[in-house]
Amino acid sequence: MSTPNHSTERLAVYQQLLAAQSADVDLFQIDVIWPGILTDHLIDLRPYAKEAQREHLGFLVENNTVNDELKALP
One-letter amino acid at 7 equals: S
| Rounded (5°) CA angle 45-63-13 | 70
Residue 49: strand pairing partners = none
Cα distances from 48 to residues 13, 45, 64, in angstroms, run 26, 5, 15
pLDDT tens-place values along the chain, 74 residues long? 899 999 999 999 999 999 999 999 999 999 999 999 999 999 999 898 888 777 777 888 889 999 999 999 87
Radius of gyration from C-alpha coordinates of the chain? 13
Helices (H), 1-74: 7-19, 34-38, 50-55, 58-63
pLDDT number for residue 60: 84
